[in-house]
Amino acid sequence: MKDSDLLDERQRGRLLWSCRRGLLENDLFIQRFFDRYGASLTVRQARGLSSLMDLSDNDLMDLLLRRSEPSGDLASDEVLEVLTQLRERP
C-alpha cells in the first residue's frame, strides 16, 4: 500500500480499537480525531498514530497538551502531522 492510500472500514476499526487508552483525557483527543479524520485516514496517518499509541498514557498526554514535543525517532513527519491534527481545537 502507498502512504496516500485510504484505510478501509475494517482497518479503521482495528486502528480505533488499538487506540483505546487508560486515561479518559487521551480518549477524548483520539475520539475527536477519529470524528474529524476517520473517513479520510491514510496509511501514513495510521503509522503516525500507531507510533503515538506506543507511548505511555502520561507521555501521550504531555504531547497532546504541548507540555513536551516529540524527539528522536518519534519526531517523524507522519507523527508530527497526526499530532498536529490531534491537538486541533474543536
Q: Which residue has the cell 507511548?
A: 55
Superfamily of domain 9-87: Flavinator of succinate dehydrogenase (1.10.150.250)
In the chain, where the domains are located: 9-87
pLDDT tens string 25-57? 999 999 999 999 999 999 999 999 999 999 999
**Residue 29: predicted pLDDT:** 97
**Residue 59: predicted pLDDT:** 97
68 secondary structure, DSSP code: S
* Predicted confidence band of residue 73 (pLDDT cuts 50, 70, 90): very high
Interior angle at CA 38, CA 25 and CA 56, nearest 5 = 35
